């Protein structure tokens, strides 16, 4: 089978490529910059890399013209509340339909929007609330995949990525104080555990879908490797970094400011209120082996604040 991975230089798509390298499929990827180190690494693993952009339909058509059977994609949400993410998804799905691709695999988010806790919170949000815009778009993209008309579709639903707490580009946006003050300033409810996993492991489930399109057809695969309270996560970060990380207790005024202005903090606060689903685990059922969080942290010290 010919498998095209959109976002193969990213976490989910990169994890999928890694899981599929070595056969039996022919692997293809699209990136905006085929000369990047990540694109070069894909090429050296036998992946055929096309230059392209989700905004440029013709570039997607060119990649699909080699006779692709299966396409994976994920899309970063438009954080400005615009519809660039929707347009990209529509471009990808229209290209997939036109090329007669048999399988569509989509990397989404753990919450499908059907949870009772989700509905209760969702109905209280103002139409302009960032979280409402974010979830509306996620639900819309999920539905585009279900309605795409391809023979087989699968949606992968990863939990919070452990990378958010480690990679420089995520830290700068979400948790800068982890590095500068060794404080974990999180608006997750400190008493409610959250599911975590290496984002690249979503790619292992996507690979399982490519290996068994029929078996995973119409499946929406939620997974998580460990459910941790904020303090349990802090303990793991302290151990891996060798630095005494503290769980920040927000002064009321500062918390109010964070919940008014920072999309990530607003999301964590609201998602905490949705409640905790203990049933998510899910790996064994799909023959996927997941990496425990402590092990992932231990393996990712080089070049991150953990090892600095």
Ligand X SMILES: NC(=O)c1ccc[n+]([C@@H]2O[C@H](COP(=O)([O-])OP(=O)(O)OC[C@H]3O[C@@H](n4cnc5c(N)ncnc54)[C@H](OP(=O)(O)O)[C@@H]3O)[C@@H](O)[C@H]2O)c1
Residues that bind ligand X (CB under 6 A): 7-13, 30-33, 36, 53-55, 74-77, 107, 109, 158, 160-161, 164, 199
Residue 75 neighbours by CB distance under 10 Å: 21
The alpha-helical segments, DSSP class H, found in 3-101 are: 11-20, 37-44, 57-64, 84-99
- What is the smallest separation between the CB atom of 74 and ligand X, expressed in angstroms? 4
Q: Which is nearer to ligand X, 53 or 151 (CB)?
A: 53
Q: Is 157 left (phi over 0), alpha (psi -120 to 50) or beta?
A: beta
Q: Which is nearer to ligand X, 137 or 219 (CB)?
A: 137
Q: Which is nearer to ligand X, 12 or 166 (CB)?
A: 12
Nearest to ligand X by Cβ — which residue?
10
- What is the smallest separation between the CB atom of 134 and ligand X, expressed in angstroms? 8
Q: Which is nearer to ligand X, 36 or 45 (CB)?
A: 36
Q: Which is nearer to ligand X, 159 or 213 (CB)?
A: 159
- What is the smallest separation between the CB atom of 251 and ligand X, expressed in angstroms? 26
**121-150: burial string, b at 16+ Cβ within 10 Å, e else:** bbeebeeebbbbbbbbbbbebbebbeebeb
Cβ–Cβ < 8 Å for 145, 155: yes
Residue 169 neighbours by CB distance under 10 Å: 8
- What is the smallest separation between the CB atom of 85 and ligand X, expressed in angstroms? 8
- What is the smallest separation between the CB atom of 157 and ligand X, expressed in angstroms? 8
What are the E-state strand segments in 141-286? Answer: 152-157, 160-161, 183-184, 194-197, 219-222, 226-228, 246-247
Q: Which is nearer to ligand X, 117 or 151 (CB)?
A: 117
- Retrieve residue 105's tokens: 């695999």
- What is the smallest separation between the CB atom of 158 and ligand X, expressed in angstroms? 5
- What is the smallest separation between the CB atom of 137 and ligand X, expressed in angstroms? 9
The dihedral of CA 107, 110, 114, 119: what is its sign?
Answer: negative
Q: Which is nearer to ligand X, 106 or 248 (CB)?
A: 106
201 secondary structure, DSSP code:
G
Q: Which strands sit side by side in the sheet containing 194-197, from one edge to the other?
A: 160-161, 194-197, 226-228
- Retrieve residue 17's tokens: 């490529």
125 secondary structure, DSSP code:
S
């Amino acid at each position: 089978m010919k498998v095209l991975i959109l976002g193969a230089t990213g976490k989910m798509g990169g994890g999928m490529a890694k899981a599929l390298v070595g056969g039996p499929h022919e692997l293809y990827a699209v990136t905006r910059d085929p000369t990047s180190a990540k694109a070069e690494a894909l090429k050296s693993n036998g992946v055929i890399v096309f230059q392209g952009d989700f905004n440029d339909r013709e570039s997607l058509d060119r990649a699909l013209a080699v006779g692709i059977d299966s396409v994976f994609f994920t899309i970063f949400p438009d954080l400005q509340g615009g519809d660039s993410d929707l347009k990209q998804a529509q471009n990808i799905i229209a290209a997939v339909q036109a090329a007669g691709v048999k399988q569509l695999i989509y990397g989404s988010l753990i919450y499908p929007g059907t949870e009772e806790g989700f509905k209760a919170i969702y109905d209280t949000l103002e139409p302009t609330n960032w979280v409402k815009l974010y979830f509306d778009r996620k639900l819309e993209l999920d539905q585009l995949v279900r309605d795409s008309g391809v023979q087989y579709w699968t949606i992968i639903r990863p939990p919070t990525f452990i990378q958010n707490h480690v990679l420089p580009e995520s830290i700068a946006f979400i948790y800068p104080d982890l590095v500068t003050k060794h404080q974990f300033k999180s608006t997750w409810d400190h008493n409610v555990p959250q599911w975590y996993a290496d984002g690249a492991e979503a790619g292992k489930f996507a690979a399982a879908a490519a290996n068994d399109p029929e078996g995973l057809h119409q499946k929406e695969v939620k997974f998580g490797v460990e459910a941790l309270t904020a303090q349990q996560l802090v303990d793991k970060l302290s151990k891996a970094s060798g630095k005494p990380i503290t769980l920040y207790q927000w002064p009321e005024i500062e918390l109010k400011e964070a919940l008014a202005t920072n999309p990530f903090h607003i999301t964590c606060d609201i998602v905490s209120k949705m409640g905790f689903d203990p049933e998510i685990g899910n790996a064994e059922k799909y023959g996927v082996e997941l990496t425990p969080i402590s092990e992932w942290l231990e393996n990712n010290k080089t070049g991150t604040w953990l090892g600095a």
